[in-house]
């Protein structure tokens, strides 16, 4: 299991392929396995050197107590690139990983050639969305309520409140919630509940609406056809000067899993189209 140290943290990472660099960034409570399950690592690896890593506190990476804002984790991404001798790369992020990718593009524009934003929900753009209309959210909210966890439409984005309730479940409520989310998911939530991740993920951390709109790199906003964040998709296509928007048929928030073939095809086409000016780099280690 390859690991490296960046910003004083052990990070688990995987690489495949050779060519221009692409870095993949998963979302909160996930891990890099999403890129293998969707076959993104293999398919993108035919044209690119692809690097995926587990975010701090996720998967097989280290578990610091704090430092989970998009600002902090954009710094992690660049430190990982430095450790792997990646001079510049195109970034693909899903969910909060897309927020991290955008923050990296703002902070380190010379190091980020293009960005793919898969169903992001930016704290600074949260006012655009009404997640109460999302059927999947309502179903999960009802399941959580049966297990004694209260999730409100008003505070749907507040992972800190959610993690705190999960941390204090006991008895029958604990059993019901564990059955609802599955044992692996439950363990991931417990692990993150003892960090500042939940509170950090809900703050802009400097990534303001104006800075989001200032991104000039080629950008692809890719959202599920039934995503709860389609207003954000419209915003990105309208306000980012070099952004195009695409939807993935039949998908909701997790398009890399819900329609992996179409998701990877759209992403690969975009990356190939925007890699012509990117010089070849070292092959995968």
- pLDDT 10s digits, 151-165: 666 555 667 777 777
Has residue 283 been placed in a domain? Answer: no
- Does the pLDDT at position 95 exceed 90? yes
Look at residues 177, 200, 223 and tell me which one is the last residue of a structural domain.
200
Alpha helices in 119-274 (DSSP H): 135-146, 159-167, 171-181, 183-193, 197-200, 209-213, 230-239, 255-258, 260-273
Has residue 19 been placed in a domain? Answer: yes
Question: Both ends of the chain: CA-CA distance in Å?
Answer: 13
- Lowest-confidence region among 58-67, 138-147, 185-194, 217-226: 138-147
Mean pLDDT calculated for residue range 20-47: 97
Look at residues 157, 183, 200 and tell me which one is the last residue of a structural domain.
200
pLDDT band at 113 (very low <50, low <70, confident <90, very high): very high
DSSP, res 242: T
- pLDDT 10s digits, 218-241: 999 999 999 989 999 999 999 999
Mean pLDDT calculated for residue range 174-180: 76
Quickly count: other Cβ atoms within 10 Å of residue 8's Cβ. Answer: 9
Sign of CA dihedral 14, 17, 18, 19: negative
DSSP, res 132: G
| C-alpha torsion angle, residues 201, 30, 169, 159 (rounded to 10) | 20
Arithmetic mean of pLDDT over the chain: 89
Strand partners of residue 21: 49
Look at residues 180, 200, 220 and tell me which one is the last residue of a structural domain.
200
pLDDT band at 284 (very low <50, low <70, confident <90, very high): very low
- State the Rg of the chain over Cα: 18
Has residue 282 been placed in a domain? Answer: no
């Amino acid at each position: 299991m390859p690991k490296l140290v960046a910003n004083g943290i052990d990070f688990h990472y995987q690489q495949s392929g050779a060519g221009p660099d692409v870095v993949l960034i998963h979302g909160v409570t996930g891990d890099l396995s999403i890129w293998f399950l969707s076959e993104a690592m293999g398919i993108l690896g035919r044209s690119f050197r692809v690097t995926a890593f587990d975010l701090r506190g996720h998967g097989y990476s280290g578990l610091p107590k704090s430092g989970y804002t998009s600002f902090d984790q954009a710094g992690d991404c660049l430190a990982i690139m430095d450790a792997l001798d990646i001079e510049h790369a195109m970034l693909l992020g899903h969910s909060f990983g897309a927020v991290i990718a955008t923050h990296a593009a703002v902070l380190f524009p010379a190091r980020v050639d293009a960005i793919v934003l898969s169903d992001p929900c930016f704290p600074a753009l949260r006012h655009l969305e009404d997640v109460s209309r999302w059927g999947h959210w309502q179903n999960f909210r009802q399941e959580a309520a049966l297990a004694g966890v209260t999730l409100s439409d008003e505070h749907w984005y507040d992972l800190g409140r959610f993690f705190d309730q999960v941390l204090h479940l006991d008895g029958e409520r604990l059993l019901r919630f564990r059955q609802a989310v599955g044992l692996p998911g439950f363990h991931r939530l417990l692990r993150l509940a003892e960090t500042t991740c939940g509170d950090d993920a809900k703050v802009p951390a400097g990534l303001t609406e104006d800075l989001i709109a200032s991104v000039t790199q080629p950008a692809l906003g890719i959202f599920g056809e039934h995503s709860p964040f389609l207003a954000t998709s419209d915003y990105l296509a309208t306000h980012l000067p070099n952004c195009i928007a695409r939807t993935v048929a039949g998908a909701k928030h997790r398009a890399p899993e819900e329609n992996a073939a179409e998701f990877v095809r759209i992403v690969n086409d975009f990356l190939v189209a925007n890699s012509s000016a990117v010089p070849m780099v070292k092959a995968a280690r």
